[in-house]
């Protein structure tokens, strides 16, 4: 089994997210700020999508969007499709789930040769701003990406067995 370097995982996730945003929605990332396990409180935004990542990593990996940014990504995804107003929220939730699935799925390719075993669950989408205060046994890692359409967080929280599927402590 390969060794886990969470700093490298966060860098790869931020790079993959930056590429995804540019290619899929024309959004440019103008800055990235990393915080590696020095966070006391994780502040989640308007829409958050998470994956339960198993294997050697044993963490939740998520992306959390400010409202204007997920709207812009959704518009890029929808393209010229005529989406009814009452279907936009559901479409943005599906888009958030797609983003975390694609970004994390693509990032796993960077670790395939290192012997790191990775299993992914289907994404879960949270539609609420939320704060999670760090307890002793918990680790928070994040990359805050700044764009012209708002900020987003790419984050890892673990170990995952201390949380339920909506990042509530158990």
The whole-angstrom separation of Cα 26 and Cα 90 is 22
The whole-angstrom separation of Cα 57 and Cα 44 is 21
The whole-angstrom separation of Cα 170 and Cα 153 is 23
End-to-end CA distance of the chain, in Å?
Answer: 28
pLDDT tens figures, 60-70: 999 999 999 99
DSSP 41-63: EEEE-SEEEEEEEEETS-EEEEE
Instruction: Compute the mean pLDDT over every residue in the chain, rounded to the nearest whole number.
Output: 88
CATH of segment(s) 6-158: 3.40.1550.10
- For residues 134-152, give the mean pLDDT: 93
> Tokens in use for 121?
């669950």
The whole-angstrom separation of Cα 17 and Cα 134 is 25
The whole-angstrom separation of Cα 123 and Cα 101 is 7
> Per-domain residue ranges for the chain?
6-158
In this predicted structure, what is the pLDDT of residue 107?
86
The whole-angstrom separation of Cα 5 and Cα 155 is 14
Question: Does the predicted model carry a pTM greater than 0.75?
Answer: yes
pLDDT tens figures, 56-110: 778 899 999 999 999 999 988 887 888 888 888 899 999 999 999 999 988 887 7
């Amino acid at each position: 089994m390969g060794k886990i370097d969470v700093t490298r995982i966060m860098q790869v996730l931020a790079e993959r997210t930056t590429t995804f945003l540019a290619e899929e929605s024309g959004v440019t990332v103008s800055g990235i700020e990393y915080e590696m396990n020095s966070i006391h409180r994780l502040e989640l935004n308007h829409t958050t999508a998470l994956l339960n990542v198993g294997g050697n990593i044993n963490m939740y990996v998520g992306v959390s969007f400010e409202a204007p940014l997920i709207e812009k990504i959704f518009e890029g995804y929808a393209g010229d499709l005529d989406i009814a107003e009452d279907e936009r929220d559901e479409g943005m939730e599906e888009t958030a789930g797609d983003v975390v699935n694609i970004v994390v799925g693509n990032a796993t390719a960077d670790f395939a040769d290192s012997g790191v075993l990775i299993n992914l669950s289907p994404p879960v989408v949270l539609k609420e701003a939320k704060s999670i205060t760090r307890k002793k046994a918990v680790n928070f890692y994040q990359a805050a990406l700044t764009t012209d359409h708002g900020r987003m967080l790419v984050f890892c929280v673990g170990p995952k067995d201390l949380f339920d599927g909506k990042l509530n402590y158990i």
